[in-house]
A and B are shown apart, each in its own frame.
Chain A
Amino acid sequence: MVAIVRKAWRQLTSMRTALVLLFLLAVAAVPGSLLPQRGVAIEKVNDYLKNNPGAGPWLDRFYFFDVYSSPWFAAIYLLLFTSLVGCILPRLRTQAEALFRPLPDAPARPERLPVSRTFDGTAEDFAARLKKARYRVAIRDGAVSAEKGYLRETGNLLFHSALIVLLVGVALGSWYGWHGNRLIVAGPDGEFCNTLQQYDEYGLGARVGASDLPEFCVRLDSFKASYLDSGQPLSFTANVGYLDGAKEGTHRLKVNEPLRLNGANVYLLANGYAPILEYTDKFGRKLTTTVPFLNSDPMLTSSGVAVFPDANLDPATGKREYGQQIGFQGVYLPTKPADPSVGRSAFPTEKDPALMLVAYRGDLGLDNGIPSSVYSLKQSQIDSGRLKPVGEPHMLVPGGEPWKLDDGTTVRFLGTKSWVAVSVRHDPGEPIMLTGAVLLLAGLLPSLAIRRRRVFYRDGQVGALAKNEYPGLGAELDQLLRDKDASEVRV
């Protein structure tokens, strides 16, 4: 039994196994770049599942939409890291021993080594040159042994250990990190505070609870975007105000300049328009709502819905009449195209804005417990006829004439506010990852650039050999023998 385990361990920690596992890891990473991934774009996964009812569920069963958190991906990298640890530990010991073990005796005939020269000088003279070239040198019985280049193996071990540091960083991040996405509409009403309820979407690490989120609030004061004439964006700047514990401040939030708060960073992801609609119901009450529209193209053609569930509520009885709720489905064009039939915005800023609305009246279906999107009306209500379109679609301009519906109620388009979508993130693994990355490079460079080599001298004969391939060994030796001042020898 022990023998089997030992054999399996030896197998696992062999270079060949490491090679096979590395290759497997590369292959296993491929499908995640070809299929949509839940962690990256969940909507695309849902689309894919809808469009591929045959293969989709099977792929899903085998985690093909969660490749990088799948058991098989984890199996490969955990095996690889086990192999890595099994590989590093004995090498660490060997390396420590190598640093302290006395140098081997010079062979009886150094001229038989792969590279050999003659030197007409004493052992002490030769040893002095080697020492100047920073060799580790021992003189025994008139013969010289010297070695150099330990840093190669040290660097290599550092490199491989750094890989483990990186794995620890990733693990910490996934246990103690969290993130949330939130859309913030400009103005004091749009202010958002860091609690789970306020996020549109969030993910908490395995060891994070709702109460662990630090307290802060963020508000969008204004948003500015500039574009080329072609519509290519030049810059996005969100001026935000924040309250972080007791500290209050403002920040110019840009794509590459996150707001770094105590305990979380806020990143600018997207931006758009939120039309403001005012609906006057049949009792003459004015209801106003500001609804963020999502953009569907780079020119910010945006769409969304405005619902008025409390419309036509009888002020005398306070009773809700479900058949009298009202909702609008809209498309907002910040710049109307020259040809109105195009239906898409011609430019991302509000040069000639227009809002296309379709009105619906009836039961919005908001109370039946089925979660609904805030960006579209419930299709099931429309299909079942409980929510009916009213009149023809209508175009409104900001501050323009109200649209009078058939029952005498009116809707006005007051204008828009900007919104930004932000991602709020906290990842305690980051400093560890950075440290690991620096160690990784610091180990990799000497590991690749340095060669370990030994030089021996006995009776005027000099011989050298390198542990790793080193075509320049002869040249180094020549230099060593030629130079009066051996300190110039390049490493």
Chain B
Amino acid sequence: MSGLSDSLLPVAILVYTLAMLGYAVEYAFSSSRGAPSRQLVTVGAGGPPSRTTEAEPRNRAALGGKIALVLTWLGAAAHLGTIVTRGIAAERMPLGNMYEFVVFGCFVAIASWLGIVTRRPNLRHLGLYATLVVVLLLGIAATTLFTPVGPLVPALDSYWLAIHVTAASISSGVFLIGFVPAVLFLIRNKYERLTAGVPEREVYLKFPVSLGAKLPRSEVLERLTFRIHVFAFPIWTFAGISGAIWAEAAWGRYWGWDPKEVWLFISWVVYAGYLHARATPSVRRTTAIWIAIIGWVTMLVNLFGINFMVEGLHSYAGL
């Protein structure tokens, strides 16, 4: 079983990479400033969801995208297989070390992404970025984080593992997907500022601003970012609370400023800051989005920086 799990992960990564290529084809051959973004406006503004994707300029592009989407589903199936078989092999929740945590979090990210495209097919071509980030993280997991299947250390042997770590990895996965439109918003926003009132041919755009041409309008990306974060924030809050309850049972205190706890707190405060910034009319949307991006940076610091560099009570969750 553990061998199956270990070989399913490269399959998932490979299939995601192929999907990424499909999205790239769609991305490259669809027209810039084209139909997708304009349709999105009506969807985003709250009309009845439009299912008109036929206006896609070239069939080739659409075909690439459709194949990519199917591949993403297949990749997700293999990905889920990795997790399930590992859980069976280890006879426990497959969330006992950093490798398992990252693999699970990436699955949540892909699942959230598939959920989003199912509800809003027009966003399909953004799958390029979603799969890109997931492939990168899974690659790191498979190469540097890999740990053979094993039982839990006593400190993790508790039903709170299932509750706390699941919540933490789900919210991490969703925040990860929220990070994608946040960055795309910045690109698109810059693009919109530079091209406002100028015919497209007359502005010279450098990478990555040039990507903006094929992105949905900035309001759409901004709203998507917000919605994803609003979804993830309570789960992250719950992850913190359940972690505190577990810490009380394991270490005798619900909160002890262990490095991992510190960074959970920091991410929480930064994301709360994002929600505040977005609710404050005098704060620009770009500023709010930057706060969300800083939030994701703090999540990465917690996942990689703290596990690798700082020794704390959570160290066994490392490698």
Residue positions of A touching B, CB distance < 8 A: 15-16, 18-19, 22-23, 25-26, 29-30, 32-34, 37, 39-40, 67-68, 115, 179, 228, 232-236, 254-258, 265, 267, 269, 423, 425, 427, 430, 433-434, 437, 440-441, 444-445, 448, 469-475, 478
Contacts and interface: CB of A to CB of B under 8 A. Distances in A.
A33 B306 contact: yes
A67 B252 CA distance: 21
B91 interface: no
Interface in B229-250: 230, 233-234, 237-238, 241, 244-246, 248-250
A22 B269 contact: yes
B262 A29 contact: yes
Contacts of A478: 48
Contacts of B254: 427, 430, 433
A441 B237 contact: yes
15 contacts: A18-B276, A22-B269, A23-B269, A30-B262, A33-B259, A33-B263, A256-B246, A267-B250, A427-B253, A440-B241, A444-B233, A448-B233, A448-B234, A471-B44, A474-B48
Given A33-B310, A255-B155, A425 B253 contact: yes
Interface stretch (B27-35, B63-71, B277-285): B277-285
Interface residues of B, number: 54
B150 A430 contact: no
Nearest to A264: B252
A265 B254 CA distance: 13
Given A34-B310, A39-B256, A257-B249, A234 B46 contact: no
Interface of B: 44-48, 150-151, 153-155, 157-158, 160, 223, 226, 230, 233-234, 237-238, 241, 244-246, 248-254, 256-259, 262-263, 265-266, 269-270, 272-273, 276-277, 279-280, 282-283, 291, 298, 306, 310, 312
A29 B262 CA distance: 7
A444 B272 CA distance: 11
DSSP majority for the B interface?
Answer: helix
Given A22-B276, A474-B47, A475-B48, A255 B150 contact: no
B46 A115 contact: yes
B157 to A, nearest CB: 6
B157 A235 contact: yes
A433 B282 contact: no
Contacts of B262: 29-30, 32-33
Specify which of A423, A437, A440, A473 lies most central, judged by the most chain B CB atoms within 10 Å of its CB: A437
B150 A228 contact: yes
